[in-house]
Structure 1
Amino acid sequence: MESQRRMPGSTEDSESASDDRAYGGDRSGGGEPKAGYILVVDDDPAMRRMVTGYFQDHDVPASAVANGQDMCRYFKGIHPSAIILDLRLGQENGLDLLRQIRSSSDVPIIIMTGHRRDEIDRVIGLELGADDYVTKPFSLRELLARVRAVLRRQEMGRAARSRDPERGGYRFGGWQLERRARQLLDPAGNAVSLTKGEYALLLAFLDAPRRPLTREHLLQATRVHEDIFDRSIDVQVLRLRRKLEIDASAPRVIRTERGVGYVFTLAVEPF
């Protein structure tokens, strides 16, 4: 990360002087964060100073904490608009913190991983509800752009829900998806749990039944950033198949279209 420290707003000379400012006055726990702030969760002090300093230099309020305990303190006050979460937090597991956040909040989350080979962590993070990811070392300019992008997507989603509240649902092959409750019922009427990603993927299929859908289309429909490897969608499809198919190894509901993507084969009835 040495090269990153010499980026505008994060030089070694300015890090010490901007330390208190970068933490938004909250480092000691005595101050209150500003509304609309970004929370950085990372156990590396230099990384915290670098990211929060750069964000504040670009008029984006930011605060930072080193661990999950301090992160929870922020959820008792003014909630952050987005969280940048490192998955490697010393003795803590960032994936456990991600799961904890998602159990009670839909705040946008961008996860940070230390190596490009940590593919499994990125896949699990996305499946647990992360909105995007970056790999260290990264460009601060790109990170800020990604934060702004997830905030725009969230705002667009809120606007769409206000115009068209989720009502009704879909019936297909004896199954039923209730949109308001976000609940999937099997043919026997039993509730089947879905992750955030699985729900979004199923909606994409139900909105376009019996039509081949490309991986790119499904990536956009599940709000995963376009440059994320296609295998993340393949993993989501596999998990959804295990819940819908009698035999996931010989799928009949979600069929692979070689060279294209996937197709949902059942007739779908909106209600």
Structure 2
Amino acid sequence: MSDIHADHSDDQAQSRKPLILVVEDEPKIASLLCDYLNGSGYRTRHVDDGNAVIAAVNDERPALVLLDLMLPGTDGLTLCRQLRAEDALLPIVMLTARVEEVDRLLGLELGADDYICKPFSPREVVARIKAVLRRSQALDQTLSQSSAKGQLTLNEEGWQALADGHDLGLTAVEFQLLKVMMQSPGRIFSRDQLMDHMYRDHRIVSERTVDSHVKKLRRKIASAWPERDVIRSIYGVGYKFEPDVLD
């Protein structure tokens, strides 16, 4: 009987460890990464085909995705874009043998939190993952505090945004736009990045369309808070949500 209780306790302790989804098609590298991560207090799940990644993330939301750039099936950059469109907060660290600056910048522009080039030290990968998770937890805390402080809350089931209890009457696109920016306070989003989050079918729209949605969203927020401007325009770059103005 005691052995059964011990096994159950071990299972519970294991399930509480953060899950790292390792997306890597080279078996030796994947095995090495999983061994180091498991030895550093994480759980791991390994996927070796890009076509299986979205299902794996939906099956059990990982704490972080360690994503190789070159994969059979869907490639890493496309996956990064798709994951970001579904969840703006999911931490993503990309792995690649490509060292060209254009690839590094493209990966980060699509929403990767960090970028590690092969060959690498497994200890360095673990250290970088820990750093990204610390930043992610800090953002979660900031978002929670800013929402409570300014009484700007989102009801995702009802697709409602409430400013001090006042329903802003947002459209689905406006709600998604506000949600994305609130999830990453202080982060500047380009118009292209906002398009990816607003339209999950990746339709092609003009930058003016994004500007129009932002203008309408700001007007609706201003109807409840005439003197507050929580969405800031960054000239020539894009937009960001600034929770500090809610003080």
- Taking structure 1 as the reference length, the TM-score comes to 0.51
Give the structure 1 partner of residue 36 of structure 2. 54
Give how far 1:97 is off.
Answer: 0.9
Give aligned pairs, total: 171
Matched ranges for 1:58-207 at <5 A: 58-105=40-87, 106-117=89-100, 119-165=101-147, 167=150, 204=186
Using a 3 Å threshold, how does the CA distance of structure 1 residues 254 and 80 change in structure 2: closer, same or farther? closer
Contact kept? 2:49, 2:73, Cα under 8 Å: no
| Alpha-carbon separation, structure 2, partners of 1:138 and 1:110 | 13
| Alpha-carbon separation, structure 2, partners of 1:179 and 1:120 | 41
Give how far 1:142 is off.
Answer: 1.2
| Alpha-carbon separation, structure 2, partners of 1:162 and 1:46 | 40
| Structure whose residues are more often helix by fraction | 2
Give how far 1:150 is off.
Answer: 1.2
| Alpha-carbon separation, structure 2, partners of 1:236 and 1:41 | 27
Contact kept? 2:98, 2:117, Cα under 8 Å: yes
- Taking structure 2 as the reference length, the TM-score comes to 0.55
Which residue type is aligned with residue 40 of structure 1? V
Give the structure 1 partner of residue 215 of structure 2. none
Identity %: 32
Give how far 1:57 is off.
Answer: 2.1
Contact kept? 1:113, 1:122, Cα under 8 Å: no
Contact kept? 2:51, 2:73, Cα under 8 Å: no
| Alpha-carbon separation, structure 2, partners of 1:72 and 1:255 | 35
Unaligned runs of 5+ in 2: 1-13, 153-160, 164-172, 195-206, 212-232, 238-244
Match status 1:38 vs 2:17? no
Give how far 1:62 is off.
Answer: 1.3
- Runs of 4+ with deviation above 4 angstroms: 166-169, 242-245, 253-256
Using a 3 Å threshold, how does the CA distance of structure 1 residues 103 and 255 change in structure 2: closer, same or farther? closer
| Alpha-carbon separation, structure 2, partners of 1:133 and 1:101 | 16
Unaligned runs of 5+ in 1: 1-32, 170-177, 181-189, 205-221, 223-232, 246-252, 257-261, 263-269
